[in-house]
Homo-oligomer: A and B are copies of this chain.
Amino acid sequence: MARPAAYDRDEIVAKALKLFWRKGYQATSLKDLEQALDMRPGSIYAAFGSKEGLFAETLDAYAARSTAAFAETMAAAPSPLAGLAAHARALGCLDDSAPSRACMLVKTVLETPDDDPALRRQAEAAIAAIEAAFADGFRAAQEAGEIAPSADPAHLASRLQSQIFGLRAYAQRTDAGPRVAALAEDIAREIEGLANSDDAEA
């Protein structure tokens, strides 16, 4: 062993996440990163290999945080369907402290050209994982008798995700604030509307 690193890697990634999430991959320059991370190019490259490498690690952190937040919401909810609705409803509270109201994964997919498949594929994989988690949630709701046996969890998951994509892109607009809560409520109500009344009767 010898000289230890002067930084905490997680902290660095968190700082980079702020920047990348807000400005996007391409618009974030090494100069921006040097300033935000308070690191010189050599250190950055020694730690992450490249700008793309740093972004990739950042994207992983974002995805992990997202899936964890969803899992917590589900765990805290009284039922799977209630958890899914709560997740949707939570999007209504726009957090101005966050670097961006839009989803970083979506931003990445939209800005990634076809000739840079690495980041694109990574973002898409994370998106697919989240959608799978949604599908698991709907499946659990189905097994719990909350929604009809004929319902298609995979389809419901894709519908939820596309609506979340839309809500968060919409929320990115200036002065979108007031409308966002109402739109989140619409999504939540749609989920709750799937509730099978047989459950209460049976």
Contacts and interface: CB of A to CB of B under 8 A. Distances in A.
A167 interface: yes
Contacts of A155: 179, 182
Contact of A162 (B106, B124, B183): B183
Contact of A166 (B110, B169, B179): B169
Contacts of A179: 155, 158
Contacts of A167: 162, 166
A168 B195 CA distance: 28
Interface of A: 22-24, 26-27, 102, 106-107, 109-111, 113-114, 120, 124, 127, 155, 158-159, 161-167, 169-170, 172-174, 179, 182-183, 186
Contacts of A107: 110-111
A75 B161 CA distance: 32
Contacts of A173: 109, 124, 127
Contact of A163 (B111, B114, B163, B182): B163
A181 B111 CA distance: 24
Contacts of A164: 166
A166 B127 CA distance: 13
Which residue of A113, A124, A159, A170 has the most chain B CB atoms within 10 A of its CB atom?
A170
Contacts of A162: 163, 166-167, 169-170, 183
A102 B111 contact: no
B169 A165 contact: yes
Contacts of A165: 165-166, 169-170
12 contacts: A24-B26, A102-B110, A106-B110, A106-B169, A111-B111, A124-B173, A124-B174, A158-B182, A162-B166, A163-B166, A165-B165, A169-B169
A37 B24 CA distance: 27
